[in-house]
């Protein structure tokens, strides 16, 4: 059985400073894969790089397939997908519970705000490459929908914050007699 976990992470630092905000465009997804395994990334891109017609042809996401050496640079990206199997870089990112699930059937793990605020991270892992390929084929559409949901949540948060800011401005104007 493949497990799809959705976990919201919150990071509390000693100084209680908020996380920095995510970088990258809204429609840009970075896919990190083990070195020399570009074909596994290409297996996922058809699910993510969907094309819709509204009324003109538009691609929802653009992807970059990179190796783990680029993770330090791109870990602050807004949309990040990391793919791997046992004895690759993915081992260092999974909890013991997640590793035991990966050893059985593989899985898709969803994290919000893993490295920065406003970030959607998806980890796709399996015991070997063949298991990961099966996970991608079985859950490719779910992975796409998870990225879209993260995008909608970020937009909703921005709209809410914008509305709250407007309410505070109106209150200050009334209190200071600017109306």
List pLDDT tens digits, range 55-94.
Answer: 788 888 999 999 999 999 898 999 999 999 999 999 889 9
The pLDDT value recorded for residue 17 is 61
| Pairing of β 120-126 and β 107-112 | antiparallel
Residue 17 lies in domain: 3-175
Is the Cβ–Cβ distance between 115 and 75 less than 8 Å?
A: yes
CA distance 26 to 35: 26
The pLDDT tens digits of the residues spanning 88-115 come to: 999 889 999 999 999 998 999 999 988 8
**Phi/psi at 57 (5° precision):** -70, 125
Per the structure, the count of domains in the chain is 1
Here the CATH number for the domain that contains residue 8 is: 3.30.379
The pLDDT value recorded for residue 66 is 94
CA distance 59 to 51: 4
């Amino acid at each position: 059985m493949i497990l799809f976990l959705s976990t919201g992470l919150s990071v509390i630092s000693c100084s209680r400073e908020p996380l920095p905000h995510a970088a990258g465009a809204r429609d840009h997804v970075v896919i990190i894969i083990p070195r020399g395994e570009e074909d596994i990334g290409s297996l996922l891109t058809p699910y993510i790089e969907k094309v819709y017609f509204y009324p003109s042809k538009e691609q929802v996401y653009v992807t970059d397939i990179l190796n783990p050496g680029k993770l330090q640079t791109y870990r602050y990206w807004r949309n990040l997908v990391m793919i791997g199997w046992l004895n690759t870089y993915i081992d260092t990112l999974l909890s013991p519970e997640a590793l035991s699930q990966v050893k059985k059937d593989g899985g898709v793990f969803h994290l919000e705000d893993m490295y920065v605020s406003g970030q959607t991270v998806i980890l796709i892992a399996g015991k070997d490459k063949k298991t990961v390929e099966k996970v991608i084929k079985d859950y490719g559409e779910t992975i796409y929908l998870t990225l879209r949901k993260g995008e909608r949540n970020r937009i909703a948060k921005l709209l809410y914050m914008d509305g709250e800011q407007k309410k505070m401005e109106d209150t200050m104007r009334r209190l200071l007699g600017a109306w």
